[in-house]
Amino acid sequence: MKKIVTSLVVIGALLFGLRADAQIRPSAASLEQYKWKKRPLLLFSPSAQDPAYLQQKEVLQQNLQGIRERGMVVIELVGEDKVYVDGILQKRQQGQQLRECFRVAPESFAVLLVGKDGTQKSSSAEPVSMATIFGLIDQMPMRRQEMRGKDNNSIQH
């Protein structure tokens, strides 16, 4: 019986959970400003005291240089009404729209990476190491082009 319930939960999560190929909808206008400019990393947390959220924030804090190098913007959606962009509380952000867009329930923790092209690249319901996120980003064609350009600029100087 326990296996059946577990299987149903997994199937439900797959059917109704986060899709890796989800496009940013126009209703998520707060992310539209980053398209082709930044790689949003979204942290969804039910509260500022959520253990998974605190763990992910610590991981982020230890990797600020890598975050900057990869042109990322960190967007934290905490509770039902707080939105932080790169650590700064936003006054007019629509956190609820982003939760709906990416299908993240208010009581859930999630980490989502969105590429510069505006598509969701990965999602996790648990904290993620920055090595994993950086590895994913560094494999993206746009990031590889950025790294080649950086290498060419350092050779010319």
Note down pLDDT in tens along the chain; length 157 residues. Answer: 544 434 433 333 333 343 333 443 433 457 899 999 999 999 999 999 999 999 999 999 999 999 999 999 999 999 988 999 999 998 766 788 899 989 999 999 999 999 999 999 999 999 999 999 999 999 987 787 777 777 666 555 5
Domain architecture of the chain: domains with CATH: 21-152 (3.40.30.10)
- Sheet strands (E) in the chain: 39-45, 72-78, 82-85, 88-89, 110-114, 120-124
**Residue 43 to residue 83: CA distance in whole angstroms:** 10
**Residue 95 to residue 29: CA distance in whole angstroms:** 11
